[in-house]
Structure 1
Amino acid sequence: MTTSAPNPSGSKGAVRRGNAPAEFSSRLLDNVVHVHPLTTTLMFGPVVAVCVYFALGRAGGWALLGWAAAGYLAWTLSEYWGHRVVLHWEPEQGFGARLHWLLHGVHHEYPQDARRSILSPILSVPMVGGAVYLSSGLGSLPLTFGAGYTVGYLSYDLFHLYLHHARPKNRLLRHLRELHMRHHFRDDTRGFGISAPYWDELFGTSIARRQGNSPT
């Protein structure tokens, strides 16, 4: 099985209209690496339901809500650092370059391709699975931590898709869309918190800042 060459346009930051070509000669493998938005919802929605079901009765209501909020907060940090460190790790050649293209480079080149706007299961499954395992396998955290983390992930994925395909009229949503479009079309070394841009403010990578201010 072969994959397409990283960045086939030959120039970093090029943007193409429409959907990206298949990454693999195997259609099945291509559909595993890049999934439809409905697929990721069907995959992880039941995870939230199962976590909440088994968490009920293990602690008081406020404790369960507290762990769910902690799980959501943990996701927002995963979103920021995963986007900044993992998805924007950009080797020039070899396996690393191909992996970057599969996980995120293709999204920057084909930003309107809905399947490339959804985080690949190569990353989402281990991340969500790890959070749920931490919640249950060690016995130290209620399962609502995993539920909150999974809700955070799904919210991020669908919100990211929304920012690429919608024209929001709400002032806040328009602002968030503008920040993300700046990340795509102005400076991809900033603006990593898509659903949680406050981490960019905290860690010095806000895309709303002047160009003279370098990220930390």
Structure 2
Amino acid sequence: MTSQTPARPGNYKGAVRRGSAPAVVGWRWLDHLIHVHPVTTVAMFTPVIAACVWFSLGEADGWALVGWAAAGYVTWTLSEYWGHRIVLHYEPEKGFGARLHYILHGIHHDYPTDPRRSILSPLLSIPMVGGTIYLASGLGSLPLTFGAGYTFGYLSYDLFHLYLHLATPKSRLMRHLRSLHMRHHFRDDTKGFGISAPYWDELFGTSIARQPRSNDLAT
């Protein structure tokens, strides 16, 4: 599929391509900045987590810092849900908005097994992480462990999302979570926005229910 691919409507069930996607821009080096390798993401954000923890020492007692880290993680899960639902699945029909949507997320739906397209683009991850740390710890004067929890949540989500696409989970829980995400990809992409935190779909009414078996329909 070329970089001119238009945005997709809801409930999209178009052809899915396997393997690596073509470049989304004319320059290969720029394409590798827009969509980075998973190792690059780990290398970028692991030091951010470590720095937030280090510089937060002494800002509050230990349990308070742990609590703020947990609050940062929960805040990330809400960012994951609403960012996926409102930002990544805002799909203009044409023009720059359609092109941007395809670059940021549409290409992932077309090439779901491409590792670089399964990792959130730095065009989004850097502003989200950096902005949250600045607003919470800079303007809001929260301990930096809040930023550590938020960044850890983001990085965990990215790697978890990659795992669901490329691995074959063995545990019952992981198989269930993979099933939920595959329903988002292949049944209805207007639902199932919480990948590492599917409980928000239950709360906000966007859960993808399992399709009943044919013998259940007959009863």
Q: Please report the TM-score for the alignment, with normalisation by the length of structure 1.
A: 0.92
Give the structure 1 partner of residue 96 of structure 2: 95
Q: Which amino acid aligns with 1:69?
A: A
Give the structure 2 partner of residue 214 of structure 1: none
Partners of 2:140 and 2:36 in 1: CA distance: 32
Partners of 1:8 and 1:84 in 2: CA distance: 15
Give the structure 1 partner of residue 217 of structure 2: none
Q: Which deviates more from structure 2 when the two are superposed, residues 130-139 or residues 154-163?
A: 130-139
Partners of 1:32 and 1:210 in 2: CA distance: 39
Q: Which amino acid aligns with 2:46?
A: G
1:27-56 CA-to-partner distances (Å, cap 9, x unmatched) read 221111000000000000000000000001
Over the matched positions of the two proteins, sequence identity in percent amounts to 75
Q: Equivalences for 1:21-32 in 2 at 5 Å?
A: 21-32=22-33
Give the structure 2 partner of residue 117 of structure 1: 118
Q: Which deviates more from structure 2 when the two are superposed, residues 178-187 or residues 134-143?
A: 134-143
Q: Deviation at 1:138? A: 1.9
Partners of 2:73 and 2:7 in 1: CA distance: 37
Matched residues, number:
208
Tell me if the contact between 2:42 and 2:155 (Cα under 8 Å) persists in the aligned partners: yes
Q: Please report the TM-score for the alignment, with normalisation by the length of structure 2.
A: 0.91
2:80 matches 1:79: yes
CA RMSD for the aligned pairs?
1.8
Give the structure 2 partner of residue 148 of structure 1: 149
Partners of 1:81 and 1:135 in 2: CA distance: 19
2:17 matches 1:6: no
What residue ranges of structure 1 are gaps of 5+ in the alignment?
A: 212-216
Q: Which amino acid aligns with 2:202?
A: E
Give the structure 2 partner of residue 185 of structure 1: 186
Q: Which amino acid aligns with 1:202?
A: L
Q: Deviation at 1:25? A: 1.7
Q: Which amino acid aligns with 1:97?
A: A
What residue ranges of structure 2 are gaps of 5+ in the alignment?
A: 213-219
Deviant stretches of 4+, over 3 Å: none
Partners of 1:44 and 1:5 in 2: CA distance: 31
Q: Deviation at 1:125? A: 0.3
Q: Deviation at 1:209? A: 5.8
Give the structure 1 partner of residue 215 of structure 2: none
Q: Deviation at 1:136? A: 2.7
Give the structure 1 partner of residue 44 of structure 2: 43
- Secondary structure of 1:137's match? helix
Partners of 2:6 and 2:45 in 1: CA distance: 30
Give the structure 1 partner of residue 216 of structure 2: none
Give the structure 2 partner of residue 56 of structure 1: 57
Q: Deviation at 1:210? A: 6.2
Q: Which amino acid aligns with 2:194?
A: G
Partners of 1:53 and 1:45 in 2: CA distance: 12
Tell me if the contact between 2:77 and 2:197 (Cα under 8 Å) persists in the aligned partners: yes
Q: Deviation at 1:139? A: 5.3
Q: Which deviates more from structure 2 when the two are superposed, residues 51-60 or residues 126-135?
A: 126-135
1:80-114 CA-to-partner distances (Å, cap 9, x unmatched) read 00000000001110000000000000000000000
Compare relative contact order (CA 8 Å, sep 6+) and give the higher one, 1 or 2: 2
- Secondary structure of 2:139's match? coil
Partners of 1:208 and 1:149 in 2: CA distance: 29
- Secondary structure of 1:14's match? coil
